[in-house]
DNA sequence: GATGAATGAGTATTCATTCAT
DNA sequence: CATGAATGAATACTCATTCAT
């Protein structure tokens, strides 16, 4: 009979928000952001259309929050308190973490690459995160982006250092790029593979480390 | 001012169809299939909305024909009258052709990867071509697909043969996959790079050949 | 810390009701009845949406009560225990009271004229008060409305009597109307003027009295 | 069988646009801008909802165009090629024209005053026309508005000149204002009176001219 | 009393597609 | 062939109102 406490309200909100975002991510990832209707999300989340707008001001903001949540997860995962220097073992660990994240966030990466493929969408939702995750190629100017561009810098240095241990015709930039292409290529392949095919992850990550460590 | 022959009519029709498809492809690739309206395409093609439906029964079929046209181009490009055996030089030539096509059909590949990223769209438009272009990973069952899966078979054999010339721990499947990942990763990167950056194409294709030939 | 008496409860209720009505009136008047949301009012009144419905059964009734309250204020202001006869000084006093009320109830009059301008709204909320405040013109049939139509009758008589002191071509009805037009015209102008521009009130009321007394 | 000519299309468009605007004005004026739905307008205009958007980009723009059309009518009516000087006969003619317009554009004026009564609406739709039509009181700063503020200036001068022919305590500004109040007051009364009550128009305009000429 | 989560009917707007001319 | 007016189903979003706690 007594009214809910603010804490209870907070909990309900948090829980529902998470539920909606989870459902929405799944549908955005599978059916596509544009083809997924608010109606559809609401129905699958077991709530009314109106409630959606109690939690998110618009479909766009729902997408935005989903992206930010996943990006934040990545940040946490990679422990930003690194100095810039990457040892060989740290490089290996970094690569393994990338593959781990790919598995953990399959749906997000499906959504991510999907958005990446549309000019205006990419500008609206991803520009603030690109220059980092998307890799060096698409927007080399955004280097001021601190966290992941920091990682990129570390890897670049790693490849430069590696050159000294290698043959003379070794071009660190091309090698770095190829490393990124391989990871990217695996990424867009893996996000559509059978979810439980751990074997190919293992094989791929091991071979990539073997080559580029 | 004699009346046009049936042949001329046919030519005009073909020409206009091509024009529409060109304009549509450009917009589909840049703004996205769903965000591009028929109206927009018609206006940019300099024709009326109604006429569009004289040439294509629906937006979907327009997309379908665009895809088929590009796929056909690829078929022609790769000379299907090969036996299955790939020499080293033929492999190099094949890789170079892939990169060539990537440049020639930038817009198509932008569209292609965009569609690939949405489950129902991919099923509707690409399933008949996948297992081939998309690579072995996504739909390994479509092996009956004759032409490009033939190429895939050739390359698989190529990598298997290569194993015999290499170290003992060499796994031809992983190596083949990595090769595909690299090409794919470069592809989705390149389609958004500066159009005229030939340099990076050159460097990348050379290094890939160096590694995998 | 003794439990509150029923009287205290009643007072608290009354106080809160007044607060809500004050806030609502302000927003209705400024942003418009339709554009003002219950949410907005509740937030600005520092209460919850749900509580609103503890005090008012609907948005419409909230409006209704606001109107009635202001009308009641007017009733009180004009001392209904008049006989019908209006002396010149009483006429002057009446006019000054009208202008006074205009200042005191600016927000209400803004709301009032706003509602007046929409047919169905006027019928729903104002019809029971019209024929009086709105003036004789809009609904001459409502003459049974006792209080303010009584005032109107007094003024009509006043103008009729005045005719006898005036030139022969004097038409009391036209003169009365013109008097009402002037007051009305000033009203809808004044409710949007700078709140503290007393000067123009003074000048206008004096001149009107000068002319029509 | 032959296709429509551009002229025919132009005519259809013009006709339909006018139809829609006429219907919309009527409903905006009677039921209110906010309460009038696009659906309602479409149904009463005998067209589909979608077609509305073929002619007007939004409900707001529909309103905007309606206002502009009426304002333009006013401009035409008042022959802007006047010098600034107003003779007594010109003043009379001006007043009669005002009353004429009031009759001709009853619906528009109902809409106009309705919009005037809501702060944000007034700013959005009327600000560009105010300072003139709305009269001097609401936005005295907009004097740069050329056409109707020109008229206002002429009338102001007219009242100033008139002062010289009158008693010493005559204040031209107050008198001008009272004139405007009377017209305004009549206006908001007349727009809700019986449409065919010409008599009261006649009486009122004659008396106003009698007083203020 | 008091809260705000939850609902759902309603609103403006879009767009592929049809069709009379 | 060619046009663009016309349609209507679908979509994102709003908001008064209800209700469990």
pLDDT at A78: 84
pLDDT at B66: 97
Residue contact B138–A193, C-beta within 8 A: yes
* Pick from B207, B211, B202: nearest CA to B99: B202
Between CA C177 and CA C107, with CA C150 as vertex, the angle to 5 degrees is 70
- The answer to whether the beta carbons of residues B131 and B143 sit under 8 Å apart is yes
Query: In a mutagenesis test of the C interface, which of D29, D188, D207 is the best target, namely the one with the most C β-carbons within 10 Å?
Result: D188
Q: Give the number of residues written for chain A.
A: 213
Q: Which residues of D183-193 are buried (b: 16+ CB within 10 A; e: fewer)?
A: bbbbbbbbbbe
Count of beta carbons in the 10 Å neighbourhood of residue D17: 16
Residue contact D178–C178, C-beta within 8 A: no
Please tell me which of the candidates D188, D192, D211 has its beta carbon nearest to residue C188: D188
Q: What are the Cα distances from residue D166, in Å, to A207, C209, D209? A: 105, 19, 16
- Find chains touching chain D: ≥3 CB pairs under 8 Å: C
* Pick from C73, C107, C99: nearest CA to C200: C99
The tens digit of pLDDT for each residue in B128-157 reads 776 544 444 444 444 445 666 788 888 999
- The answer to whether the beta carbons of residues A13 and A56 sit under 8 Å apart is no
Q: What are the Cα distances from residue B166, in Å, to B160, B169, B211? A: 10, 8, 12
pLDDT at C70: 95
- Say which nucleotide is closest to residue A6, CA to C1' distance: E3
* Interatomic distance C132 CA / F3 C1' (Å): 59
Average model confidence (pLDDT) across chain C: 86
Q: Phi first, then psi: what are they for B113, rounded to 5°?
A: -65, -35
Contacts of D154 (CB under 8 A, 6+ apart): D82, D84, D85, D86
**The model's pTM:** 0.89
The tens digit of pLDDT for each residue in A124-177 reads 888 777 654 444 454 444 444 566 678 888 899 999 998 887 766 788 999 999
Give the Cα separation of A72 and A79 in Å (integer).
11
Dig out the tokens for B157 from the structure: 């054999």
One DSSP character per residue, B170-196 reads --HHHHHHHHHHHHHHHHHHHTTS-TT
Residue C145 — pLDDT band, cuts 50, 70, 90?
Answer: low
Here the contacts of A128-135 (C-beta below 8 Å, separation 24 or greater) are A129/A67, A129/A71, A133/A71, A133/A74, A135/A180, A135/A184, A135/B189
Average model confidence (pLDDT) across chain A: 87
Q: Phi first, then psi: what are they for D188, rounded to 5°?
A: -70, -15
Chain B: residue whose CA lies nearest to A209: B178
Give the Cα separation of A9 and A128 in Å (integer).
32
Looking at mean pLDDT, say which of A115-124, C50-59, C117-126 comes out highest: C50-59
> Is the C-beta of residue A120 closer than 7 Å to nucleic acid chain E?
no
Distance from CA of D203 to the nearest CA of C (A): 7
Bigger pLDDT: B82 vs A197: A197
- The answer to whether the beta carbons of residues C114 and D118 sit under 8 Å apart is yes
> Does residue D30 sit at the C interface (CB-CB below 8 Å)?
yes
Chain A: residue whose CA lies nearest to B135: A189
pLDDT at A167: 66
Average model confidence (pLDDT) across chain D: 87
Please tell me which of the candidates D174, D182, D190 has its beta carbon nearest to residue C178: D182
- Say which nucleotide is closest to residue D60, CA to C1' distance: E12
Give the Cα separation of B3 and A168 in Å (integer).
71
Give the Cα separation of D55 and D136 in Å (integer).
35
In the 3-class helix/strand/coil scheme, how is A12-37 assigned residue by residue?
HHHHHHHHHHHHHHHHHHHHCCCCCC
pLDDT at C7: 76
The tens digit of pLDDT for each residue in D105-150 reads 999 999 999 999 887 888 888 877 765 444 445 444 444 456 667 8
pLDDT at C86: 86
Residue D85 CA to its chain's centroid (Å): 23
Give the Cα separation of A155 and A91 in Å (integer).
8
Q: Span D151-175, mean pLDDT?
A: 85
Bigger pLDDT: A143 vs D208: D208
> Is the C-beta of residue C54 closer than 7 Å to nucleic acid chain E?
yes
pLDDT at D125: 83
Q: Span A115-119, mean pLDDT?
A: 87
pLDDT at B168: 64
Q: Given a cut of 90, is residue B126 above it in pLDDT? A: no
pLDDT at B131: 53
> Is the C-beta of residue C49 closer than 7 Å to nucleic acid chain E?
yes
> Does residue A167 sit at the B interface (CB-CB below 8 Å)?
no
In the numeric block, the tokens 């419905």 are attached to C53
**Of residues 74 to 133 in chain C, which lie within 7 A of strand E by their beta carbon?**
none
Distance from CA of B173 to the nearest CA of A (A): 10
Please tell me which of the candidates D137, D189, D211 has its beta carbon nearest to residue C189: D137
Q: Span B167-187, mean pLDDT?
A: 90
* Pick from B5, B21, B210: nearest CA to B111: B21
The tens digit of pLDDT for each residue in B12-38 reads 889 999 999 999 999 999 999 999 999
The tens digit of pLDDT for each residue in B51-103 reads 999 999 999 999 999 999 999 999 888 866 666 788 999 999 999 999 999 99
Q: Span A44-62, mean pLDDT?
A: 97
pLDDT at D130: 65
């Amino acid at each position: 009979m007594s009214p809910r406490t603010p804490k209870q309200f907070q909990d309900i909100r948090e829980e529902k928000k998470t539920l909606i975002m989870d459902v929405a991510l799944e549908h955005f990832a599978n059916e596509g952001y544009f083809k997924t209707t608010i109606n559809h999300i609401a129905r699958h989340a077991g709530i009314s259309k109106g409630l959606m707008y109690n939690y998110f001001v618009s479909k766009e903001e729902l997408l935005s929050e989903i992206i930010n949540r996943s990006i934040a997860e990545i940040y946490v995962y990679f422990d930003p308190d690194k100095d810039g220097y990457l040892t060989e073992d740290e490089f290996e660990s970094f690569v393994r973490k990338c593959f781990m994240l790919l598995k953990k966030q399959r749906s997000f990466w499906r959504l991510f690459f999907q958005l990446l493929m549309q000019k205006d969408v990419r500008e609206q939702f991803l520009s603030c995160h690109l220059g980092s995750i998307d890799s060096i190629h698409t927007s080399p100017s955004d280097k001021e982006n601190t966290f992941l561009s920091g990682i990129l810098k570390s890897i670049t240095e790693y490849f430069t250092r590696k050159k000294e241990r290698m043959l003379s015709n070794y071009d660190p930039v091309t090698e770095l790029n190829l490393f990124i292409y391989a990871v990217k290529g695996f990424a867009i392949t893996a996000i559509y593979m059978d979810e439980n095919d751990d074997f190919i992850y293992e094989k791929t990550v091991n071979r990539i480390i073997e080559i580029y460590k």
